[in-house]
């Protein structure tokens, strides 16, 4: 990207002044190298977001930002319903409430001998459905589908998939209020009927990871993270249901936009006023999909716990935290000294609440929210925490991963899945996947340097580094 389009505010903050139809500035948090490496489409898309009705303060992009559908992935924007603000399906994304949860195992890396590691990889791969079209361990009838979409992870726990204590470590306490299952189409529900408890494909994964570095000892102690110990991270979302909701509402919003007097800078930014029937319907369906994703990760957690208990008797896999990164949430933020209720879109961006925030669990409130940054199969993942500055940085948002550096098609031209699996095994990372092409698409080299992305987030005050995790086993979609 051409740096001349931006005014440098600090080492890791860049502003694009409003021009043309832009109502607010565009702001990117990144160092010069990361910004220069971003495709020009990121700046173009961010400027288009800044032109949407009712946008507040600025259109933001995180250090991992790259081209997406409508909004850049890593994009954040907030809208005020009282000022004609809109909700955009493209600003949430197709995989609604895709997110990461990380769990303790109580094991250290030395406990997992090479033979046990191979058995663990094989059993997790056998136990947890993964890949395109995968189906899960339960089938939902119409009644249970409605209950799941209303209840989220709470519904899953009530049916034996986990513990009540898990809910305290999940965003929204495991259930998003305001879900309206009747706003979810029958087609979306049919797609999800057999997909609960499945990872899906693409960049989704389940990993066993070793904690290799601690940066913030106080936060690490509170999160119970110790160097050498092993954690499990699960990355997935709302599967076919979320994709169907996104597809249907994007089409409806494109058709309806002229009637609302909205001139779209890009049809991929299809949106509807928050106060309109269409806007409210989307929010109800999106919140139902959020509950679907929370329930899905809860069921996968249960399946993973069964495998660990089988191979390592006595392990419990206590939940550290679960946070989503494709959402739109009604939140209170201070703008020009006044508290305002805003609808914050985060697409490929993670909420990063500051210490003291009332939405945090009591035992973590003085530390800040755990922020879980996923790696890319053979690279590191990170645990960060919200900072005192978080609420003034992109509406308390941080990056969600490394961010793609090339398309999946480009990746398959450069790497071969079998060779990658073998190479990673030599590095001590056991990969299990139903698709070698999928492995090639998700090659570590197809992504940005996650260390640089996380360092930029830390320096910008979006979140502070707590621990670095190295993959040992990766179950890949």
Q: 3-class DSSP state for residue 353?
A: coil
Q: Do 238 and 293 meet the contact criterion of CB atoms below 8 Å apart?
A: yes
Where helices occur in 6-164 by DSSP H, the ranges are 32-37, 40-49, 114-127, 142-158
Q: Do 253 and 88 meet the contact criterion of CB atoms below 8 Å apart?
A: yes
Nearest to 461 by CA among 361, 410, 391, 364: 391
Report the alpha-carbon distance of residue 304 to residue 460 in Å, rounded.
35
Q: Do 62 and 50 meet the contact criterion of CB atoms below 8 Å apart?
A: no
Q: At what angle do helices 277-311 and 114-127 cross, to 10 degrees?
A: 140
Report the alpha-carbon distance of residue 459 to residue 477 in Å, rounded.
33
Q: Do 122 and 432 meet the contact criterion of CB atoms below 8 Å apart?
A: yes
Residue of 325, 357, 400, 416 marked active site: 400
Report the alpha-carbon distance of residue 122 to residue 114 in Å, rounded.
12
Known catalytic membership, residue 400: yes
Q: 3-class DSSP state for residue 359?
A: coil
Report the alpha-carbon distance of residue 365 to residue 359 in Å, rounded.
8
Residues identified as active-site: 400
């Amino acid at each position: 990207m051409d740096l001349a389009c931006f005014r440098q505010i600090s080492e890791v903050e860049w502003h694009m002044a409003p021009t043309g139809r832009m109502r607010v500035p565009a702001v990117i948090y990144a160092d010069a190298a990361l910004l220069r490496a971003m495709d020009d489409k990121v700046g173009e898309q961010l400027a288009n977001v800044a032109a949407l009705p009712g946008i507040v303060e600025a259109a933001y992009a995180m250090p991992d930002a790259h081209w997406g559908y409508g909004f850049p992935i890593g994009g954040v924007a907030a809208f005020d319903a009282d000022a004609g603000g809109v909700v955009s399906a493209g600003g949430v994304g197709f995989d609604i409430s895709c997110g990461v949860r990380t769990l303790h195992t109580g094991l250290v890396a030395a406990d997992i001998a090479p033979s046990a590691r191979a058995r663990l990889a094989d059993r997790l791969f056998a136990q947890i459905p993964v890949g395109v079209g995968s189906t899960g361990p339960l089938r939902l009838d119409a009644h249970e589908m409605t209950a799941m979409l209303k209840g989220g992870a709470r519904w899953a726990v009530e049916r034996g998939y986990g513990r009540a204590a898990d809910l305290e470590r999940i965003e929204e306490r495991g259930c998003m209020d305001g879900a309206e299952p009747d706003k979810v189409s029958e087609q979306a529900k049919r797609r999800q009927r057999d997909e609960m408890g499945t990872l899906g494909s693409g960049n989704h994964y389940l990993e066993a990871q070793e904690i290799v570095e601690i940066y913030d000892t106080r936060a690490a102690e509170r999160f119970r993270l110790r160097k050498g110990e092993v954690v499990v991270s699960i990355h997935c979302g709302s599967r076919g249901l979320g994709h169907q909701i996104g597809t249907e509402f994007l089409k409806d919003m494109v058709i309806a936009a002229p009637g609302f007097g909205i001139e779209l800078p890009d049809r991929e930014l299809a949106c509807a006023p928050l106060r309109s029937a269409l806007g409210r319907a989307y929010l109800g369906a999106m919140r139902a999909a959020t509950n679907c994703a929370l329930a899905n990760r809860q069921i996968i957690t249960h399946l993973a716990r069964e495998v660990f208990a089988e191979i390592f008797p006595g392990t419990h896999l206590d939940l550290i935290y679960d946070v989503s990164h494709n959402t739109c949430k009604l939140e209170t933020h201070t703008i020009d000294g006044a508290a305002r209720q805003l609808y914050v879109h985060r697409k490929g961006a993670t909420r990063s609440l500051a210490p003291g925030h009332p939405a945090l669990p009591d035992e973590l409130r003085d530390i800040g929210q755990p922020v879980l940054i996923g790696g890319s199969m053979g690279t590191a993942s990170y645990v960060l925490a919200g900072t005192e500055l978080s609420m003034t940085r992109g509406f308390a948002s941080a990056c969600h991963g490394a961010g793609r550096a090339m398309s999946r098609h480009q990746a398959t031209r450069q790497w071969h899945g079998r060779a990658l699996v073998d190479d990673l095994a030599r590095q001590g990372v056991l990969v299990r996947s139903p698709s070698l092409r999928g492995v090639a698409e998700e090659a570590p080299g197809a992504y940005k340097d996650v260390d640089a992305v996380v360092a930029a987030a830390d320096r910008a005050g979006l979140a502070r580094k707590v621990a670095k995790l190295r993959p040992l086993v990766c179950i890949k979609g």
